[in-house]
Structures are given as C-alpha cells and as structure tokens.
C-alpha cells in the first residue's frame, strides 16, 4: 500500500492550520497559535471519556490528531462541560507565562478547525458525542 496522502503532506497542512489560527487570533507567530490550539484540545478532551476522545481524534488530520492526544493523562478524572467563558479561561492555564490565548480561544480554533477537517467525518464523530461536546464546537 502506498503512503496515505494524509501523511505525505501532514506538516504542510499542520502549518497551514496554525497560520490560519494565528491570523484569526491576530497573533504574531504560529508558536502562540500552537499553544492556544493545544490548550483548546486539552480542555475539550478533559471532558470526554477515552473512547469518545479517540473517536473525535480520528476525525482530525494527522498532526492535529497527534497534538490532541499528546501528553495525555488518561487517568485524569473527566470534567463536566461548563460555561464557555470558564473553559476559555482554562485554555489560558496551559503554560500561563507563555500563553497568549484569546478570550475566545475555543471559538477561534473551532472556526479554523472546520476548514481543515473532512466535514462528514467530523460531523459523524461529533454526532457520537454528548450535546455539550457539539456545543463546544458550536454545532448543534
């Protein structure tokens, strides 16, 4: 079997995603965007059961999938979904001395993410999740 296309250009696609997040958030670098995306992913996955999170991750492009599961303490207790502004503040708790995440980090990452996933796969993955998870990404 030939090397799957999603892996052949994974770095280019990942950098394109980070560039769009950078621009959406009016950041000066993709480093700032990376931290914000990582924070958003961690906030989201903390609210999912392991099997739910893996199903979601499988709908992401290769390097976003890797970022979503990186450094994951799978024994951490699942947190409830809460107020969006509270979860956006939680995003800023990742490396707070170097975190420039916007007050709308979840919404900013979500709006860019939708441009970088296969819409039908992403919708199907979210369809298997609780309503609060779909609301996190602003899909009802």
Q: What SS3 state is found at 28?
A: coil
Query: Whole-angstrom Cα distance, residue 128 to residue 26?
Result: 33
List pLDDT tens digits, range 48-105: 999 999 999 999 999 999 999 999 999 999 999 999 999 999 999 999 999 999 999 9
Average confidence (pLDDT) over 111-122: 96
Q: Give the residue-averaged pLDDT of 116-133.
A: 95
Whole-angstrom Cα distance, residue 78 to residue 12?
Answer: 33
| H helix or E strand, kind and range, residue 88 | helix 84-91
Q: Give residue 140's pLDDT.
A: 41
Task: Tell me what percent of the residues of the chain surpass a pLDDT of 90.
Answer: 92
Contacts of 2 (CB under 8 A, 6+ apart): none
Q: Which domains does the chain have, with CATH numbers?
A: 11-21+28-71+83-136 (1.10.490.110)
The predicted model scores a pTM of 0.95
- Tokens, residue 87: 């979860």
Instruction: Give the count of alpha carbons within 13 A of 85, CB side only.
Output: 0
Q: Are 5 and 68 in contact (CB under 8 A)?
A: no
In this predicted model, what pLDDT tens digit does every residue of 33-42 receive, in sequence order?
Answer: 999 999 999 9
């Amino acid at each position: 079997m030939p090397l799957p296309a999603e892996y052949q250009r994974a770095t280019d696609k990942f950098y394109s995603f980070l560039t769009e997040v950078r621009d959406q958030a009016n950041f000066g670098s993709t480093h700032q965007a990376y931290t914000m995306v990582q924070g958003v992913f961690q906030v989201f996955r903390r609210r999912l059961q392991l099997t739910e999170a893996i199903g979601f991750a499988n709908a992401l492009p290769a390097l976003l999938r890797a970022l979503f599961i990186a450094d994951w303490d799978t024994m951490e207790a699942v947190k409830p979904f809460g107020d969006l502004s509270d979860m956006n503040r939680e995003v800023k708790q990742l490396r707070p001395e170097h975190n420039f995440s916007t007050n709308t980090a979840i919404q900013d990452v979500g709006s860019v993410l939708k441009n970088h996933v296969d819409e039908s796969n992403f919708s199907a993955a979210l369809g298997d999740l609780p309503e609060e998870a779909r609301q996190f990404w602003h899909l009802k």
